[in-house]
Amino acid sequence: MRYSFVFLALLIGIPGAGFAADPAELSIYLFQEGRPQSEVKLVVDGQQSLSSDRDGAIHLLIEPGSHCLSFSRSGKSLFIYDLTVVAGENIRLFIILLVNEKNHVLWAWSEFNGFAS
């Protein structure tokens, strides 16, 4: 089965304690045809590896800075996303996977890094 992807990312920043060493909270939610997608593998910076749960969710703490997020399923690379995070952010990524007859990976995203005053 071939897939193409629409990647809709909603990043919401909420200030933490204000220390530069505070990690960001990253929550990723994966869906296809309205259903959560389990067993999608996430590799962060080529090292840390996690998989989505039965609710299509992955939750982790991530250090401030730039990171490479690599997604795959059943050994097949799906897409790579570069993410820059700020200390104390609460980031939510909503990813919608779409089936396509061509073997192209398409993704679009929206980023919101606002902080409450």
Q: Compute the distance between CA of residue 117 and CA of residue 95 in angstroms, rounded to an integer.
A: 28
Show me where the domains of the chain are located: 3-99
Q: pLDDT digit string (tens) for 9-68?
A: 444 444 444 444 689 999 999 988 889 999 999 999 999 899 999 999 999 999 999 999
Q: Compute the distance between CA of residue 15 and CA of residue 6 in angstroms, rounded to an integer.
A: 29
Architecture of domain 3-99: Sandwich (2.60)
Structure tokens at 110: 């929206």
Contact 113, 15 (CB under 8 A): no
Coil vs helix vs strand at 26: strand
Q: Compute the distance between CA of residue 38 and CA of residue 31 in angstroms, rounded to an integer.
A: 9
Structure tokens at 82: 């570069």
pTM for the structure as a whole: 0.74
